[in-house]
Each structure stands twice: as C-alpha cells, then as structure tokens.
Amino acid sequence: MPSILTWIIYDIVDDKVRGKVARICKQYGLERVQKSAFLGKLRLNRFDELGEKCRDLIDEDADSVYLFPFCQEDFNRVKVLGQGFDKKLVNDELLAKFF
C-alpha cells in the first residue's frame, strides 16, 4: 500500500492529552520535529486511523490537531526560514530522510 508524507501539528490545552497524542504519533513512526509537530510517512489507511485516534482524545472545543498529507514533490518545495526545526530534536540524518 502506498505511503504519504505526513505532517501532524497540534495545539492541545491539556498536558496529559498532549502527551498521549505525542506518544501515538511516535507509535505510528512519526518523528518529532518541533514540540508540537511530527513528520513521517504513513500508509494511507494509517493516516485516517491516526486522525480518528487523535479526535477521540482531544477536546474539539479547545484543541486543534492538523494532519497534512504531502507528496514528495510538494515537500521538496518546502522552505524553512529562521530557526527552522528544533535542533535538539532534529539532526542532519533525520532531515536527509525527507529533504
């Protein structure tokens, strides 16, 4: 089954819920690139599944979770300005997977 490059970006009020969403992202093989941002490749069916798991955890009246699918061509056009990725979380080896 084909996979898609995926960004997960969230703003979650509750620390416990935020931690659960982060753990789920890691379980799905995504890499943390900022405190509230993950990046990785997911099979198409896992993309929808991850979205549902996040929806079940968050308070939709207070929290936001964004799941952005990207094709490799679009991702290659991404421009990182300023400080970019969190250097404590992202090294050159990890960036080479995606750029």
pLDDT tens, position by position, 58-87: 999 999 999 999 877 777 787 777 777 777
C-alpha closest to that of 7 among 36, 80, 16: 36
Cβ neighbours of residue 82 under 8 Å, at least 6 residues apart? none
Per-residue pLDDT, averaged over 87-96, amounts to 71
Q: Backbone dihedral region of 30: left (phi > 0), alpha (psi from -120 to 50 degrees) or beta?
A: beta
Q: Which domains does the chain have, with CATH numbers?
A: 3-98 (3.30.70.240)
**For residue 62, what is the DSSP state?**
T
Token output for 71: 């094709």
Which two three-digit tokens encode residue 20? Answer: 């659960």
pTM of the predicted model as reported, rounded to 2 decimal places: 0.81
